[in-house]
Amino acid sequence: MHEPQSNEALEKLWTVAQNPPASLNKVRFTGMEPSLPSIYKTGILAQSTIAAAALASAEIWQSRTGLSQTVTVDIDAASASFRSENYLRVNGNNRFHTNKLKPENNIHGFYKCGDDGWIQLHANYPQHRKDILQTLRCDGLRKSVSNKLLTMSALEAEDKLTNIGLPAGKMRTVEEWSEHPQGHAVARMPLFTITKIGDAAPIKLSQNPKRPLEGIKTLDLTKVIAGPLIGRTLAEHGADVIWVNGPHLDLIESLVIDMSRGKKPVNIDLRNNFGRDTLTTLIKGANIFIQGYRPGALNSKGFSPEKLAEIRPGIIYVNLSAFGNNGPWKSRRGFDSIVQTVSGIGHEGGKASDLDGMKHLPCQALDHGTGYIGAFAAISALQKQINEGGSWLIDVSLAQTGHYLTSLGQQNHINSYDKNLKNRNLYIEKVESPFGTVEYTKPAAVLSGTPGKWNLTPSNFGTFAPSW
């Protein structure tokens, strides 16, 4: 079988967005697989998705200035970006500890069930942990949870937890996922969609910007990695990004530090009228709106795509979900690792490593891939808005990205040498921030005319006022 390469993967992404094929000649790839120890081509996923977002930005630059530029992406640099949270340091210390509980109290992870099946529980957030323990009627000990799950089948446990909205997933094989109704639905979906949802006049941007996305105002209502990465990528290319969080919602500090570069983090409480009015005012001045709440959650508060197209004609609405907008699981909560578990990716990794159970990818590849795909789709929609006007809806999901990754085929590199972290100094830069000295990954895409950068250092939510 012919092994898909990054240029072919990029061409597929570019074609889905219906962008002009001639632009692909401006991209140069360096390096080759394996870049990370995996049976899946995570390096190609990283290289192609990062290149897509960068090339789309370069095309915006050309439409504004008439100047063309090239894009170069090295596969090792791209793979490092896909592990940005692993590279993060604050004052020399690795701050990526999502769960600071003692091992005996840490219930996040994999469990064997009574039918010899496996389930994954996602309990990095305190509320999720609390609700899982309450639902299973267990104390706070991992052993107690393990013993409880040994009395249940993996499917029974999955249903019990997910039916009340908790993040969990039964380990499935690739074959089982392909036969599952949601697997069927994902396989039928395109990698992402860009749909016109309203009429609006074309946007008029300045013709002498310093950055491709200069003047593009973006609202980022997302958490964890995939959604915040969309906003961070837009900021990398010059967009003005306000990152919105509810002051009552749990956060993982290390991810806030990593994903707040280039952004203005603000607190807005959408549970009250003042908060909703504040967000509405921001929307009226925005070009792009990114949301990663559970499907339908924002609709009930008056922020559906159709409503935003009324409030702000010409808006680009990016809708991020775990499992896509079709199928029985379209409203199910999920995270990168959960999607890997249910879709067979984790099982394939475990099988290749001769494990009884799962082995996930060496990075949160579905999160990062979806983030760059979401940014690429948003920038492509912006080009459509420039050319023809309209309001646009983008749908992306972790499961669609996972399906795309598996479509690239497998490689026998599960035990290959992990060279990236050894050479981490090649991929990082340092900035002074309110948190201290922060080390984070450099932009992996090198644009010849407008190199990517973040104009704002990482900062906490509430640092900025919610205004443009």
Find the mean pLDDT for residues 345-370.
92
pLDDT of 8 higher than 90: yes
Neighbours of 173 (CB within 10 A): 14
Categorize the per-residue pLDDT at 123 as very low, low, confident or very high, splitting at 50, 70 and 90: confident
Neighbours of 246 (CB within 10 A): 16
SS (H, E, C) 50-102: HHHHHHHHHHHHHHHHCCCCCEEEEHHHHHHHCCHHHHCEECCEECCCCCCCC
Find the mean pLDDT for residues 343-363.
91
Find the mean pLDDT for residues 52-74.
97
Categorize the per-residue pLDDT at 214 as very low, low, confident or very high, splitting at 50, 70 and 90: very high
Note the pLDDT of residue 417: 55
Find the mean pLDDT for residues 180-185.
97
Top pLDDT among 104 and 335 is at 335
Note the pLDDT of residue 2: 37
State how far Cα 433 lies from the chain centre.
24
pLDDT of 189 higher than 50: yes
Q: Could you tell me which of 182, 171, 108 has the C-alpha nearest to residue 349?
A: 171
Q: How confident is the model over 456-467, as pLDDT tens digits?
A: 999 999 999 999
Note the pLDDT of residue 1: 32
pLDDT of 116 higher than 60: yes
Find the mean pLDDT for residues 330-347.
94
Categorize the per-residue pLDDT at 421 as very low, low, confident or very high, splitting at 50, 70 and 90: low
- pTM, two decimals, is 0.95
pLDDT of 234 higher than 90: yes
**Phi–psi pair at 222, nearest 5 degrees:** -140, 170
Neighbours of 331 (CB within 10 A): 15
Cβ proximity of 293 and 324 under 8 Å: no
* Strand spans (E) along 205-360: 217-221, 240-245, 263-267, 288-291, 316-321
Cβ proximity of 81 and 36 under 8 Å: no
Find the mean pLDDT for residues 57-82.
96
pLDDT of 195 higher than 80: yes
Top pLDDT among 36 and 419 is at 36
| CA angle at 346 for the pair 342 and 350, rounded to the nearest 5° | 140
Find the mean pLDDT for residues 145-155.
95
Find the mean pLDDT for residues 272-286.
97
Range in 96-105, 158-167, 449-458 with the lowest mean pLDDT? 96-105
- Cα–Cα distance, 455 to 237 (Å, whole number): 10
The mean pLDDT of the chain is: 93
